[in-house]
Structure 1
Amino acid sequence: MTTPTPSLTLYSHRNGPNPWKVAIILDELALPYNTVFIEMDGSQKASPYIDLCPNGRMPTLVDHSNNDYTIWESGAIILYIVSKYDTEHKISFSKEMDDDLTGQALQWLMFQMSGQGPYWGQAVWFSRYHPGDKIPSAIERYTKEVRRVLGVIDLELRRGNKEWLVGGKCSYADLSFVPWNWYTDMNFEGTAVDGWREEFPFAAAWDSRLRERAAVKANYEKRGAAVAAAPK
């Protein structure tokens, strides 16, 4: 049975990592979609966007081929996409065939959402954008957490001598980490994160493999172009 081609709109942000998680997943599955960038000028907290996402954050996905079904929060969006459209399980796992792998993939997605995203976000804020004087204790705390999370990934890959986190293939569990990983090299020079590639070689090799994927390369370029084209 052929899955109908969806009609999707992704409400995104040019620089924020979470929308690019969803874009990478969509491109991995070769799903057509339209991107609408929401600027952080108050538009995200006003109609019409707030009518789609009461949290006023990006991303939000609207599936026009499913009665304009609307879903927000990047992890929830990823699970919706793979559940509905990854019928060949290119980047997901069949629950009926292997419930353990499904659970493991969910585990790593939850770890990305609860561990990587918040700690990277706070580390970026206090390292780059916090107004006024720097707060060394905050920078140290959150950059050390960045390093700890990278260490968890390294341990998992090392002890299984694995290339990917789950099931011997690149899945949404791996891909969900990509956009925040971009920030690792962009924002943390001169902090506790320095030298992570040497300390965690399995995580570094995993990150390099992810960066070589066509969907990841394409979205890295699209992100750069979107940032460059942002209203001044």
Structure 2
Amino acid sequence: MSKPIQLYTARTPNGFPITILLEELKAKYGLDYDYQSIDIMKNTQKEDWFIKINPNGRIPAIVDRARGNFNVFETSAILLYLVQHYDKELEFGFDPVKQPDDYSEELQWLFFAHGGIGPMQGQANHFNRYAPEDIPYAKKRYLDETKRLYGVLEIRLNQGREWLAGPGKGKYTIADIKTLAWVRIHAHTGIPTLDEWPNVKAWVERAEARPAFQAGANVPPA
């Protein structure tokens, strides 16, 4: 019998949130999945077969075999989809009807990562590591903005919180998973340590202590 979820991904901070959540769902409910590693350096994601799954030609994408081979693309959309259909106890999210304020917080921080940290840190990575020419303005602009966004996280986590969304100390949700996938690679971006943001540093360490988080952060293997 085939596994419910077929994932197409790569070792990037856009792909890791999906493998981390899938490993968390596997640990909690036994949900299993297949994955295919996509060689983005060879533009495999631009091939016709992949464009039929994701017209945008980007990873990650999933095919839900258990729901009529339904396709989902975009990291945040996949996270929300997996919680909706496979996290029956809402271990990694909130009920939009019964917990509307908590659910709103979850979405706010999920989209903060999707529209802020992801794009800004991604550009910092590009201009500091991969750009064919040295553009000091771009390097500084995106690195400074990434640091500013880390400061926003520090403000949130400096309020006696362990996680981004939910009452009290918060609850570990897909908002954390999405954001952590970027922040944990800070050194790759050109930010050697998180010492400037001690609550962010503790948050990363807290997440990385979870076995399923570690498992998901190693799919595909290096």
Q: Is the 8 A contact 1:6 1:63 kept in 2?
A: no
Map of 1:98 onto structure 2:
99
TM-score between both structures, scaled by the size of structure 1: 0.87
Counterparts in 2 of 1:48-197, with a 5 A limit? 48-132=49-133, 134-158=134-158, 160-167=159-166, 168-188=170-190, 193-194=191-192, 197=194
Structure 1 residues 158-208: Cα deviation after superposition (integer angstroms, max 9, x where no partner): 1x21111112221111111122123212231xxxx355x222111111111
Unaligned stretches of 5+ residues in structure 2: none
Q: Is the 8 A contact 1:119 1:142 kept in 2?
A: yes
Query: Which protein, 1 or 2, shows the higher relative CO under an 8 Å CA cutoff with sep ≥ 6?
Result: 2
Map of 1:212 onto structure 2:
209
Map of 1:26 onto structure 2:
22
Q: What is the RMSD computed on CA atoms of the aligned residues?
A: 1.6
The aligned amino acid for 1:91 is F
- Return the offset for 1:147: 0.5
Bigger drift between 37-46 and 69-78 goes to 37-46
Distance 1:95 1:127 in 2: 40
Q: Is the 8 A contact 2:61 2:74 kept in 1?
A: yes
Q: Is the 8 A contact 2:94 2:102 kept in 1?
A: yes
Distance 2:156 2:218 in 1: 30
Map of 1:230 onto structure 2:
none
Distance 2:140 2:192 in 1: 12
Q: How many residues align?
A: 213
The aligned amino acid for 1:177 is T
- Return the offset for 1:107: 0.5
Q: Is the 8 A contact 1:112 1:177 kept in 2?
A: yes
Q: Is the 8 A contact 1:11 1:61 kept in 2?
A: yes
Distance 1:139 1:88 in 2: 43
Structure 1 residues 53-95: Cα deviation after superposition (integer angstroms, max 9, x where no partner): 1100001110000000001001001111101111101111122
Any runs of at least 4 consecutive aligned residues in structure 1 with deviations exceeding 6 A, and if so which? Answer: none
The aligned amino acid for 1:220 is A
Distance 2:142 2:173 in 1: 27
Bigger drift between 56-65 and 22-31 goes to 22-31
TM-score between both structures, scaled by the size of structure 2: 0.91
Bigger drift between 52-61 and 161-170 goes to 161-170
Secondary structure of the residue aligned to 2:96 is coil
Identity %: 35
Distance 2:184 2:204 in 1: 9
Map of 1:198 onto structure 2:
195
- Return the offset for 1:119: 0.6
Secondary structure of the residue aligned to 1:70 is strand
Distance 1:110 1:49 in 2: 25
